[in-house]
């Protein structure tokens, strides 16, 4: 399933991550998943939240740069080889994965993943066609 992820630019100073997360908490936004990519001089915080529009507005008002991107959320079997099945499908279709991160999910027996790929529509179609369980948007936005 294609979902919206928010990417936040974080300058390399103590407290920047905390300030962003705090702003979201105060606005009543719940974070479903997050990943932090770090370069030497800055970081990018990637977030899946239950209310993307409110979150984007809140962060923009707090003076940080936020952009929304389309990423894929999927549930895979929480067992050995579960990830391999999915990754093989994408590799065979020559879809490039830019990054991925896992969510700690509450869906029994499933591992939830967020993937950024170069062609989200194509990847989504392939995953839907092949074996992947459709996930309930409510599961991903409010894990």
Q: Which residues of 95-128 are buried (b: 16+ CB within 10 A; e: fewer)?
A: beeeebbebebebeebbbbbbbbeebeebbebbe
Find the binding residues for another protein in span 55-114 (CB under 8 A): 63-65, 67, 69, 98
> Does the footprint of another protein cover residue 41 (CB under 8 A)?
yes
| CB-based contact 72:114 (threshold 8 Å) | yes
Closest CB to another protein among residues 10, 112 = 10
Among 2, 25, 36, 37, binds another protein (CB under 8 A): 37
Q: Is the dihedral of CA 48, 54, 60, 61 positive or negative?
A: negative
Binding residue for another protein, selected from 27, 31, 44, 107, defined by CB under 8 A: 44
Under the rule (CB under 8 A), what is the footprint of another protein? 5, 7, 9, 11-12, 16, 37, 39, 41-42, 44, 46, 63-65, 67, 69, 98, 116
């Amino acid at each position: 399933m294609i979902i919206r992820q928010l990417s936040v630019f974080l300058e390399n100073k103590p407290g920047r991550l905390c300030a962003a997360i705090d702003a979201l908490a105060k606005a009543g936004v719940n974070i479903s998943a997050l990943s932090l990519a770090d370069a030497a001089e800055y970081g990018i915080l990637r977030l899946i939240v239950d209310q993307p529009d409110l979150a984007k507005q809140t962060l923009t008002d707090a003076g940080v740069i936020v952009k929304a991107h389309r990423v894929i959320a999927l549930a895979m079997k929480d067992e050995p080889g579960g990830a391999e099945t999915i990754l093989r499908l994408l590799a065979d279709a020559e879809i490039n994965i830019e990054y991925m991160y896992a969510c700690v999910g509450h869906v029994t027996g499933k591992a939830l993943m967020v993937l950024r790929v170069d062609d989200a529509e194509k990847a989504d179609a392939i995953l839907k066609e092949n074996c992947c369980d459709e996930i309930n948007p409510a599961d991903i936005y409010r894990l």
